[in-house]
Amino acid sequence: MLSHEQVWAAIDALAARYCLSPSGLARKAGLDSTAFNKSKRCSADGRPRWPSTESLSKIMEATGSSFEEFVALVKAQAGSALPDRASTPTVPLIGFAQAGAGGFFDDAGFPLGEGWEHIELPGGMREGSYALQVQGESMLPLYRDGDILIVEPGAPVRRGDRVVVKTTAGEVMAKVLLRQTAKAIELMSINTEHPNRLFEQSEVEWMARIVWASQ
């Protein structure tokens, strides 16, 4: 028998499969970011609140998943086919606005502290990777608001790689590396409405390669 808990757990599993938080999945589907919050899953009087068929349709369209895939996730929550989530590595999920604030990263670009929201790490990613959530439309058409970028500090960066750069002024941006010398870094903007950027090496706090994106 279909249960309230199984359906909501399947939504959580679908979000994790596409490297999204439940709120990120809601935004990607064009819904209110709080639509899938745990506090919204029951009414004020404690009665179970079910997701609408419209919401389910929108999240499947947003992720490109099928109804059969979602049904399989629902069935998995019954227990026999439930994946071992404890063995699945997770990474911190950080918004670009947080990334630009002081005190959240070390000099190498690794996140500091605890209390971050975590998402499952896509297969093949290395330890030390973390996720940045795109905010706004400055990276269109390649990256949309709500997309997740997995970056890997310390990974070799070559010309033509997509990178996330943080400047000493606190600006965080996703660009394409055009040129890097001992003195300067030249970056090409993903959005053609924004100019390319040229920085002195001393103006760049860290640069990390984008190794995966939830597109």
Domain range summary for the chain, segments of one domain joined by +: 4-85, 89-213
Residue 100 burial by CB count (10 A; 0-12/13-18/19+): exposed, middle or buried?
middle
Give the pairing type, strands 162-167 and 197-200: unpaired
Cβ-proximal residues to 54 (8 Å cutoff; 6+ apart), any chain: none
CATH of domain 89-213: 2.10.109.10
Q: Distance between CA atoms of 214 and 57, rounded to whole angstroms?
A: 19
What are the pLDDT digits (tens) for 68-119? 888 887 877 665 444 444 455 677 777 776 666 655 566 666 666 555 677 7
Query: Does the domain formed by 4-85 have CATH 1.10.260.40?
Result: yes
What are the pLDDT digits (tens) for 6-19? 888 888 888 877 76
- Of the CA atoms within 13 Å of residue 176, those in its CB half-sphere come to 14
Residue 195 burial by CB count (10 A; 0-12/13-18/19+): exposed, middle or buried?
exposed
